[in-house]
Structure 1
């Protein structure tokens, strides 16, 4: 057998170097296999599995490539799907990592290059406000490990290429897209020796179609972490991002773009206090803010901001410039008062009051703006908050502010100029300090068209400004300190030019060519306005007073129901009143034209040459200013008021001077009540007027002075003649005090006055036609009513007039209702009335004289009190020797005769006490003789001649007494009517009752036609003797009169009386026979008196002498009878016959005749006794009746 030698292995035969090389080759091979093929597969598998489990999402990786020799890793087509597994969540095309081998010995991760290409991130927010990554945020994080040394790394050349981020916001229905996202970060490391290396990152992207570029420098792991970014952003579409800002109101930003070129810096200061710095330029473009309906409220083509070194986190900003170009702003006030667009920004949120921060916690804002400029701005203002809308356009609006700062005690300067579409200009310059808040403003407004601003007063005022320009300037200052605002305006000047105001009917109301207000100041905090100088010239005011009167509130102000209510609910004005002071004011050459429709015929009153000067006039309490007013009335009258006037309380002390005021000016105001034409006359007043008001708002007035009406003349248009005129009527020493309700006048003088009284053909009096509105013929007489009693006795005016003087007065009387006309004149009236007073019981003395028809003297005298509530007058009026022949028109008309001659004297006495009047009218006619008969239908048809014969005495004189009595409140009462009626009745009684007419001749006025007798007697009683004496005197004085005298008896009344008298006569006769035996007896039979103790003696004597058959005894002698039987037998034998009564009546008539003959003496042949009358009626009185023939 062949012996086989063992083979020797190549390996064993290899050298050691060969083995090493082979090992290296195997290791290289294995490393390559693991690095190029095994590791990528394992990494892909592990990453997909682990990440899918961790993220709960499907994750796929296209490929992973590893270069184990170059330490490069490529991850391709990485994809993470969302929870629905339908859309991708995160993806990138490739991740490239280039590791440094130094990582092995530096004990730090060192990456040379990190590049992410085509990254894509899809984010979504759902309607429930959850996100497609919300579940990831809720996953618990890894447990916190104990603090250890930080993991060291160093990454260079970090780059993201062509990235994309898409965010879909379902609630907002908005998609945001970041495209072409590129990020370059040269270096990032926290290795100790590399932390101070500066890194210059760069970023660019297109965000929602807006390019964004960022470049910077940073040391992110240095202690300071200093970072600086250069930001370049163009055309950021701002509305796309506003959806994530809480929205309030109806405004929305329809367009707006932002350009940014800025540098943003970051640095961590010691104490871990971060600092962010910002510089650069910001531009807002195409800003358009609109409401829901699409109307634009703000449009700005471009806003440029240049920010210098600023620190936002420290609220420290420095802006070099803010430039706003051509902004357009719409400001509108709605009909309910809301300010738009401010109201659209949202409802006012009532927040709880914040707790005060502890001192030092609040970082103050530091803002410095070197310049703010607004160029060619436009503001459109539309005000619908008034009854009438108002709209204006301000263009251009130019604003320049320099040096604006919140730093303490720094001032900014500003300039503002505005021009309106009406060529009105507004210029404002000033300074502004924000800390503390202090502002100074000098404003100048020129050519403001006042009529344009009518809507702001038209809802309150009825007149409208139709013309006028205003230039206004002022210095305004504002200060805010300790939550208190102070606003002051000084040097206010307002110049009005060509002001024209029309009333509500577009009729000219007011024109003022020039109105100036100067040196005026306003203190809002102190609520004071001081007007230094107010002046106006040549103004003209036109007023119209309608039938209802000139009520300024009604003419100038709209009714409250037509005004818009603007009072704030729940607010009460508790502020003190404003104080307005006018240091100097003047108006010159003003005029007032008043068209008055109150009179029946409208009249125009012109007041011109009006000059008003005011000094130190104020509404402050207890202050007074000086006022001087001069004006002219109707081209002649002049009024002057000068003195002090106060507002609070109301007071005035004025010197009043009125001169040459034509009475004609006042005529239209009483023309509807007085039908009179004023021909001439001037009113003058001089005095002092004092007005005061106490705390109870009671106004009192005092006046002292004098007044005159001179050269007055008036014309009666119906009579066609003068009515009333005088040379002078003056009132001197006038003292009026409303607080005491007292009026005192030292003297009233009436000189050379004249009045004509006319009766027209229809019987009306000119006084009635003239006073047609107050008691004229067509005026109804009101029913008598109870007097209205005042609640206070002081309501009765206390009047005292020391003296009333009449000089050379004259009254003419013309009666046209008769033919021929009758005319009389009462002239030379002069006299005084002294001591007139309304005090009860104070009597004035009157003494007035004059002449009738230039001849007959007149005198009026007495005492009177006509001014008190209880009127009193005790007057005597005497007329002497009035010629009666001129009264022929009256006598012919009413009694049917002319007057041939005669004179009349009157003595009239009247007593007035309250409402009652009594009077005694005594008339004396001398040689009153009637003439020819006059045919007149108005004749009284009375026995006038008989009446005259009865009234006229032997000398041709007639005396009449006519009493008057009545009630002054009785509208039917008239003294003249009563007197005339009394005279007519006297004449009428001449035929029916002459003795009634004769009674009027006797002052006592007794009825003298009868003389009554005691039954059975023919003796004239003493009470009738005076009357018979008067009759005897009258008959003697009137020889043309005769008298019939008739006696009368009453059988039933006087038969028994005569029987008793006859019985008494028998006894008296016996006593008379006894007494007649004495030689010294002088007693007559009628004087005999039978005493009681004598009765039986003379009864027996009379019985003894009686011749009738007497009872006898057996001897034939008369028996002795007791007294009763004797009396009975005597009485039974006394018989009273009709002849006895007839003789008694004749005795009575003869007694009256004898009395008249012996007393008169009346001639017996003029007295006739006629057959007596024997009456049987019980009511007939025994008398003698006298009848005038």
Structure 2
């Protein structure tokens, strides 16, 4: 029987209390104590010491950057580690990144969760300098590039081992925090360099876990310069991925962006404020896809002010931009928002004197190198897009409930006119609703605005964008002041617009981009245009009304129902210098280039224009002629009439009827028919003046014949018919009771025997009736009130004055348009034989007109005359040298050999640095009969080339050209006067001038006619 044994606790405790039991190596407890002490010492002292050095060594080895760590702590019992004072620098000592404290607390509970579990991970005082250099590289990029590459090996890389159970790493972080992170960002690739500061940045996350269905929370706050802040908070589940939360941001982000873009734009942004709020949800699908949705997105931009560089006044001010109710879905591809509102937008724009818009100057021009890079990039993108077409817009759903502009203002100053034009559009209200990218969707549109100069415009309608733009809208303008165009009108005429208001109602329909149709009505009231110098009225009307107009792009037609002009007025005056007030008012402008004129002609098919009727009522006009010895003025009133249908597509003539009163008792009447857009087809116009007091016309008779008219009455009936371009006129003049007045000394009056003419023409009733049939081309006759006889005389005199040499030629049977032209061969001053015959005929004509004299200019054309003189001089030098060689009894008498020798010597003297052998090499070629034979020198071509270069180098001065021109003039004078038929004083030499070439390339000397000097 075994007895019962009991444990003696007292003896055991006494044994443990015995120090010899702990210090004796023969006891296990000794080695347990040693292990505990070693673990403690290694954990608290050895591990931090090694870790501190290994961290520094690893960073410097792998990153190639100096590093330092102030302190490393490790608690082997709490399994926590702490690193303090980590700093990594650039090789030049500039800071790269670092932190004040990094703390990790690992939990032994990982053994129970089968997951890496951290009670706390905390980063404090982290900082980083992020730099983008001028060449586009970054300090981080350079640091990564410095990491040594893995050693090359022939063995294939091992495939990664799959995670246990096919799942990701199991990780639990109970608390993750980043406190007081700051980053300094600099971009040296911008000019000037951009710099900003981000921080402090804080992050707090709790219960982050990769374990299934474990949800944590996080909160991130990022502060930026100028008080900006972004706050991002919400929940986060990593397995499967699920996250939701809210993001709120506010700050002067536009200001920062403006500073960043200063090398690309010529404007800066003031201290605006941007606010962003949104709710989001992110989740993963079973197939691995990610779903993202954003709701309640609201973006507000306040107090935006953009200023052009060097200008204190903002060109754009926007008190508020608000985007509300934003929503985004992925992969549903949905983007929508409830509203986008711009409140109080104020935009200032201008155009400088060179025609460049100020807004176009807000973006800086790129350097050529950048432009080439952009071109290459565009080409690369184009090649990709051509091979891989982008997804159609139909893949996305884009919706915007309403877009509106409220209380907008546009101010535009145009400095192209000498007097800058200023237009201000205020109270702009623009709204578009139900916007989307749905095909065929139509969107309501409304617009309202007022012009500070006067008037308003309103528009309402609908438009669409896809599949093609369409528009259906009504537009109404009221009381639009025409004076706003004053600066532009002043560019063309010296006038002042004192009144005028435009109103219209228009309906615009565009079912497709090539089917525009516009119709409506228009009124133009109270126009008052005055002379800017004296303030007198020039043009006015009470009302111009268009009751209906329509334009149809499909038919390329513009139709006007009726144009009614009420109480129009015009003032026309002939000034003392025989110019008109209209000519005087017009501003001379540079003619457009001929290329532009020709290009305009081919601008496409002309628009068919039809005007149903033009009516005129209660019109008046004033006409004055102050160029006459006795100033003349008349007043026309009660002008009434109409013009029937005018059409560019019809050959049916329009009917014309106009009636008016001249002065107190006279009558003016115009009636008939005409084809206004092609009057040569069918025109029949009758102009009738009745009961016109002839004394009123004395100013014209004095100027024409130097005689007053004491009494008489005039009736004129002018009837013109044009058929197929041929003019037929059956005109008559009846003068009653004509009595001549005194004769006045009028230097320009013609000396006509009026007394005899009147005596022959006046009948027994005291009337003179003359029928004046006219035939000819409509562009030739110039009819005046004085009658056809005076016209014939005027036309004769005008023809003689304007074409004196044609008149002189007719005296001697010469019918030549070039009777005044003597042609010389370039470089020569000898009159050629054909010209001698022409000068002989001219001498004969001058004998018949002894009061005429000729002017002969010295003339030259620089290029051909210079080339001819160069050739003459070089040829003369060559001939002189050849003759000298022959005179010296040169052994070689062959002209060809002598010419080559002379030319080579002259060439060598002129061009000592040019090798004759090198020049000869270019003229060596095989004989014509033996293509494979030895190359021989083509002497003729060779010598010709040398001589040509000598000619080009020969200097011909302007004085040489002027001497040639003078010699030509002297030769002409000699040919005219050598016979003695005309005196030398009747042929005068003018100054030297440049001339033109004829078709043969000869220099043309043009003669002139003047009054012969008194003997």
* TM-score, length-scaled by structure 1: 0.58
Which of the residues 685, 690, 700 maps onto 1:890? Answer: 700
2:518 is matched with which residue? Answer: 703
Q: After TM superposition, give the deviation of residue 255 of structure 1 in Å.
A: 2.6
Is residue 2:117 matched to residue 1:318?
yes
Which of the residues 425, 428, 433 maps onto 2:232? Answer: 428
Gap change, CA 1:883 and 1:581, over 3 Å in 2: farther
Q: How does 1:626-775 map to 2 (within 5 A)?
A: 626-648=444-466, 649-691=468-510, 693-694=512-513, 700-718=515-533, 720-773=535-588
Is residue 2:400 matched to residue 1:589?
no
Q: How does 1:63-82 map to 2 (within 5 A)?
A: none
1:835 is matched with which residue? Answer: 645
The total of aligned residue pairs comes to 756
CA contact (8 A) 1:404 1:411 kept: yes
Q: After TM superposition, give the deviation of residue 780 of structure 1 in Å.
A: 11
Q: Take 1:955 and 1:391, find their aligned partners in 2: how far apart are those partners?
A: 107
Q: How does 1:737-1136 map to 2 (within 5 A)?
A: 737-773=552-588, 790=602, 795-867=605-677, 872-912=682-722, 919-962=729-772, 975-976=782-783, 982-985=789-792
Q: After TM superposition, give the deviation of residue 735 of structure 1 in Å.
A: 0.6
Q: How does 1:305-704 map to 2 (within 5 A)?
A: 305-309=104-108, 311=110, 316-341=115-140, 344-346=143-145, 362-448=166-252, 450-479=254-283, 481=285, 482=287, 484-506=289-311, 507-523=313-329, 529-551=335-357, 554-561=360-367, 572=384, 574-576=390-392, 581-618=399-436, 621-648=439-466, 649-691=468-510, 693-694=512-513, 700-704=515-519
Residue 940 of structure 1 aligns to a residue in which SS? coil
Residue 645 of structure 2 aligns to a residue in which SS? strand
Q: After TM superposition, give the deviation of residue 599 of structure 1 in Å.
A: 0.9
2:968 is matched with which residue? Answer: none
Q: How does 1:216-231 map to 2 (within 5 A)?
A: none
Gap change, CA 1:949 and 1:768, over 3 Å in 2: same
CA contact (8 A) 2:574 2:624 kept: yes
Q: Take 2:27 and 2:426, find their aligned partners in 1: how far apart are those partners?
A: 100
In the TM superposition, what whole-angstrom CA distance separates every residue of 1:487-544 from its partner, at most 9, and x where no partner exists?
Answer: 5443232333322111244253112233333223345756654342233333322111
Q: After TM superposition, give the deviation of residue 987 of structure 1 in Å.
A: 10
Q: After TM superposition, give the deviation of residue 683 of structure 1 in Å.
A: 0.9
CA contact (8 A) 1:818 1:890 kept: yes
Gap change, CA 1:879 and 1:354, over 3 Å in 2: farther
Q: After TM superposition, give the deviation of residue 388 of structure 1 in Å.
A: 3.8
Identify the range of structure 1 (975-984 vs 722-731) with the bigger mean alpha-carbon deviation.
975-984
Gap change, CA 1:368 and 1:440, over 3 Å in 2: same
Is residue 2:33 matched to residue 1:203?
no
Residue 451 of structure 1 aligns to a residue in which SS? helix
In the TM superposition, what whole-angstrom CA distance separates every residue of 1:781-803 from its partner, at most 9, and x where no partner exists?
Answer: 999998975375xx211111111
Query: Which has the higher relative contact order, 1 or 2, with Cα contacts under 8 A spaced 6 or more apart?
Result: 2
Q: Take 1:297 and 1:754, find their aligned partners in 2: how far apart are those partners?
A: 84
Q: Take 1:958 and 1:985, find their aligned partners in 2: how far apart are those partners?
A: 19
Gaps of 5+ in 1: 1-111, 116-154, 160-183, 188-199, 206-210, 215-230, 264-278, 990-1189
Which of the residues 266, 279, 283 maps onto 2:82? Answer: 283
1:145 is matched with which residue? Answer: none
Which of the residues 30, 42, 59 maps onto 1:212? Answer: 42
Gap change, CA 1:763 and 1:633, over 3 Å in 2: same
Q: Take 1:605 and 1:919, find their aligned partners in 2: how far apart are those partners?
A: 53
Q: After TM superposition, give the deviation of residue 756 of structure 1 in Å.
A: 0.5
Q: Take 1:346 and 1:156, find their aligned partners in 2: how far apart are those partners?
A: 58
Q: Take 1:534 and 1:722, find their aligned partners in 2: how far apart are those partners?
A: 51
Q: After TM superposition, give the deviation of residue 915 of structure 1 in Å.
A: 6.8
CA contact (8 A) 2:56 2:68 kept: no
In the TM superposition, what whole-angstrom CA distance separates every residue of 1:267-289 from its partner, at most 9, and x where no partner exists?
Answer: xxxxxxxxxxxx73221221222
Residue 168 of structure 2 aligns to a residue in which SS? coil
Q: After TM superposition, give the deviation of residue 680 of structure 1 in Å.
A: 0.3
Q: After TM superposition, give the deviation of residue 650 of structure 1 in Å.
A: 2.9
Is residue 2:97 matched to residue 1:298?
yes
Identify the range of structure 1 (311-320 vs 399-408) with the bigger mean alpha-carbon deviation.
311-320
Residue 401 of structure 1 aligns to a residue in which SS? strand
CA contact (8 A) 1:301 1:325 kept: yes
Q: Take 1:643 and 1:501, find their aligned partners in 2: how far apart are those partners?
A: 33
Q: After TM superposition, give the deviation of residue 239 of structure 1 in Å.
A: 4.7
Q: Take 2:392 and 2:542, find their aligned partners in 1: how far apart are those partners?
A: 57
CA contact (8 A) 2:59 2:65 kept: no
Q: Take 1:372 and 1:568, find their aligned partners in 2: how far apart are those partners?
A: 45
Q: Take 1:784 and 1:498, find their aligned partners in 2: how far apart are those partners?
A: 47
CA contact (8 A) 1:618 1:646 kept: no
In the TM superposition, what whole-angstrom CA distance separates every residue of 1:573-622 from its partner, at most 9, and x where no partner exists?
Answer: 63555876432233332222211111121122121122222222345554
Q: Take 1:747 and 1:982, find their aligned partners in 2: how far apart are those partners?
A: 42
* TM-score, length-scaled by structure 2: 0.67
CA contact (8 A) 1:799 1:867 kept: no
Q: After TM superposition, give the deviation of residue 304 of structure 1 in Å.
A: 1.6
CA radius of gyration, larger in: 1
Gaps of 5+ in 2: 1-21, 797-1015
Q: After TM superposition, give the deviation of residue 240 of structure 1 in Å.
A: 2.9
Root-mean-square deviation (Å): 4.0
Q: Take 2:593 and 2:574, find their aligned partners in 1: how far apart are those partners?
A: 21
Q: Take 2:634 and 2:157, find their aligned partners in 1: how far apart are those partners?
A: 100
In the TM superposition, what whole-angstrom CA distance separates every residue of 1:1102-1142 from its partner, at most 9, and x where no partner exists?
Answer: xxxxxxxxxxxxxxxxxxxxxxxxxxxxxxxxxxxxxxxxx
CA contact (8 A) 2:352 2:358 kept: no
Residue 685 of structure 2 aligns to a residue in which SS? strand
Identify the range of structure 1 (321-330 vs 351-360) with the bigger mean alpha-carbon deviation.
351-360
Gap change, CA 1:966 and 1:557, over 3 Å in 2: farther
Gap change, CA 1:857 and 1:780, over 3 Å in 2: farther
Q: Take 1:959 and 1:781, find their aligned partners in 2: how far apart are those partners?
A: 52
CA contact (8 A) 1:667 1:678 kept: yes
CA contact (8 A) 2:507 2:520 kept: yes
Gap change, CA 1:667 and 1:522, over 3 Å in 2: farther
Q: Take 1:955 and 1:830, find their aligned partners in 2: how far apart are those partners?
A: 35
Q: Take 1:979 and 1:360, find their aligned partners in 2: how far apart are those partners?
A: 120
Gap change, CA 1:584 and 1:242, over 3 Å in 2: same
Q: After TM superposition, give the deviation of residue 381 of structure 1 in Å.
A: 2.2
Q: Take 1:460 and 1:620, find their aligned partners in 2: how far apart are those partners?
A: 36
In the TM superposition, what whole-angstrom CA distance separates every residue of 1:172-195 from its partner, at most 9, and x where no partner exists?
Answer: xxxxxxxxxxxx5579xxxxxxxx
Q: Take 1:869 and 1:353, find their aligned partners in 2: how far apart are those partners?
A: 94
